[in-house]
Chain A
């Protein structure tokens, strides 16, 4: 497809389990972002990948959260030992960073995580 693809769209897990969320960005986009959106809240920045540069992990809320981007394309956000407060929609976005363009973010539809 032409857009950002995220999977799973919905995930229900038990407290203490690990989860992996996947993001397939738009082909050719060099930048990839993860944001978290809690119910009725804003978009909380988690992590940002740009090309081969070291990722900006400044938004990760704890060491239970990690993300990787393999081959400059697909990204996986991993949450270990999930807690109920991790319940949220996790949004991925990608962007083409080139020259003076604005770097518009194109978002996927999100992965809704529910921790019981």
Chain B
């Protein structure tokens, strides 16, 4: 079955710096890769996603890149702000299914 690995498990950056979180997936038939942000005591919320026919997608300060050959995808947050502090999850979805498999999460701390 699909497996998603996520690194690092924790990340601490200075406000204004960039943060990068990386994921790898096991099933080459996966075609959809969303990123979710979870704030304390809340359920995860979608922040950005990318389909397998696209290599990069940007939305203001966040961007996601996908390397299908290497089965890697990454989340990039620029000009980080304290409110970016949260747990971030990557996920992958196998083609033909709507089941999402999540990575283990990255706890991001942005120091003021």
Residues of A within 8 A of B (CB): 4, 31, 33, 35, 41-45, 48, 50, 56, 58, 91, 93, 95, 97, 102-105, 107-110
Q: Is the CB of B41 within 8 A of A109?
A: yes
Known interface pairs A102-B34, A107-B45; A45-B6 also in contact (CB < 8 Å): no
Q: In the complex, A35 Cα to B44 Cα: how many Å?
A: 11
Q: Is the CB of B99 within 8 A of A48?
A: yes
Q: Chain B residues near A43: list those with CB within 8 A.
A: 44, 89, 102, 105
Chain B residues touching A, range = 20 to 34
User: 3 closest pairs, A vs B, by CB?
Assistant: A107-B43, A42-B104, A43-B102
Q: Chain A residues near B43: list those with CB within 8 A.
A: 4, 91, 93, 107-110
16 A-B pairs (CB sep. < 8 Å): A4-B43, A33-B99, A33-B100, A42-B102, A43-B44, A43-B105, A44-B102, A48-B99, A93-B43, A102-B32, A103-B93, A103-B98, A104-B34, A104-B46, A105-B46, A110-B43
Q: Chain B residues near A50: list those with CB within 8 A.
A: 98
Q: In the complex, A95 Cα to B98 Cα: how many Å?
A: 9
Q: In the complex, A25 Cα to B102 Cα: how many Å?
A: 20
Report B73 CB to chain A, min CB distance, Å: 15
